Chains A and B, each alone.
Chain A
Amino acid sequence: MFALFVQSSTPNTVSYLILGYVIIGAIGLGYVISLVIRQRNLKRDLEMLRRLQEEEKE
């Protein structure tokens, strides 16, 4: 009976919870993606420089 009372008096705030974790996930994922993109670009630059140096040697 007590559990029922507690359950009925507790507000339904699941939508706030979902929105909160979606935002947390989006920021976290966004930062990780930015790291991946920056690393990929640097590796591409590195590869290009390596090719240019090899061409120069030839």
Chain B
Amino acid sequence: MAATTTAQAPADAQRAASRPVGLTILTVFTALMLLVATYMAFIYAPTERTMGAVQRIFYFHVGAAWAGALAFLVTAIAGVVYLITGKRSWDIVGHSSVEVGLALVTITLTSGPIWAQFAWGKPWTWDPKLTSAAVMWLSYAAYLMLRQGLDDPARRARFGAVYGIVAFASVIMTYFGVRFIEATIHPVVVGSSAGTGEGDFGLATRMVHAMVFSFITFTFVYATLLWHRIRLERLSDRVARLKAHFFSQSG
């Protein structure tokens, strides 16, 4: 950027602001996938006998949980790669992925209690799975807040990388660790558990289809939002550089 001339800088920034065709196609495709996933959750999948319609929340609840975990995994990997290469682009990926992941996990943590209100008679319990999920959410919310408190970009990126790797322990605990704790009442929809879940339900074939489609859809939702968020961060970088460039010239 040091070699960028005054005339080139706005042109670069202008280019960064225009949306690539691939992103437009991905966005439209993801929107269509969401429509089909909604159809499958509401109409295609049969109604669960003991809980009724409220069980249909699980298709998006679990899909968002999966995509949130994927987002935090990407942040941890981006953190490792940043610490090795020191490239800003990996810091952008890690930071953007945390923000998107946090939005997805927020969907999981707010939709679950609505199901729980019916299944357990209360929206929240300090069950190991729920507590671990809350700790995970707080860890990543803190990541975003603490990052903002650091002015030096290199220090901020290093902090983000290390934090993203360490915080991933909360994801492992939430998604895998609690499966071995017998005290949990949270049902396990995918894989085996200690078998103590309250509100457990078997999945009929069409329910499995809807669940798998929801997993795929939320993977696309994550990829689309991540791409948009990365572009936003790059645009923000360019505006900041342009401001610095302009004020250093006029000053």
Among A13, A28, A39, point to the contact of B51 (Cβ < 8 A).
Answer: A13
Do residues A20 and B115 form an inter-chain contact, with CB atoms below 8 A? yes
Binding site for B on A (CB under 8 A): 6, 9-14, 16-17, 19-21, 23-24, 27-28, 31-32, 35, 38-39, 42-43, 45-46, 49-50, 52-53, 56-57
Interface assignment of B14: CB less than 8 Å from any CB of chain A:
yes
- Cβ–Cβ contact A50 & B10, under 8 A: yes
Asked whether, in the complex, the Cβ of B54 is within 8 Å of the Cβ of A16, the reply is yes
Shortest A18–chain B CB gap in Å is 9
- Per a CB cutoff under 8 Å, which of B10, B229, B231, B236 touches A49? B10
Q: Does B57 contact A (CB under 8 A)?
A: yes
B183 contacts the other chain (CB 8 A): no
Q: List 5 A-B contacts (CB under 8 A).
A: A13-B52, A17-B54, A20-B111, A27-B103, A35-B228
- Whether A16 touches B107, Cβ cut-off 8 Å, given contacts A11-B52, A46-B239, A53-B6, is no
Indicate if the CB atoms of A42 and B111 lie closer than 8 Å: no
- Categorize the interface residue count of chain B: 35 or more
Among B54, B55, B229, find the residue whose CB has the most chain A CB atoms closer than 10 A: B54
Contact A16 B114 (CB under 8 A): yes
Q: How far is the CB of B246 from chain A (nearest CB, A)?
A: 6
Whether A16 and B53, one on each chain, are in contact in the complex, defined by CB atoms closer than 8 angstroms, is yes
- In the complex, which of the residues A49, A56, A57 has the most CB atoms of chain B within 10 Å of its own CB atom? A49
A28 to chain B, nearest CB (A): 7
Interface pair A45/B239, CB less than 8 Å apart? yes
- Choose from B48, B115, B231, B250 the contact partner of A16 (Cβ within 8 Å): B115
On whether the beta carbons of B229 and A35 are closer than 8 Å, the reply is yes
In the complex, what's the smallest C-beta–C-beta distance from A15 to chain B, in angstroms?
9
Chain A residues contacting B111 (CB-CB under 8 Å) are 20, 23-24
* Interface members, chain B 56-113 (any A CB < 8 Å): 56-57, 60-61, 64, 100, 103, 106-107, 110-111
Closest Cβ neighbor of B6 among chain A residues: A53
Nearest chain B CB to A39 CB, angstrom units: 6
- Chain A residues contacting B64 (CB-CB under 8 Å) are 24
Partner of A42, one of B56, B117, B239: B239
Is B148 close to A, CB under 8 A?
Answer: no
Asked if A38 and B10 sit within 8 Å, CB to CB, the answer is no
Residues of B within 8 A of A38 (CB): 232, 236
Q: What residue in chain A is nearest B229 (Cβ atoms)?
A: A35
Assembled-state Cα–Cα distance A42/B16 (Å): 11
Given contacts A10-B47, A52-B246, 16 further A-B contacts (CB under 8 A): A11-B51, A11-B118, A12-B52, A13-B52, A16-B57, A16-B118, A17-B53, A19-B114, A24-B61, A24-B110, A31-B225, A35-B225, A38-B232, A38-B236, A49-B10, A53-B246
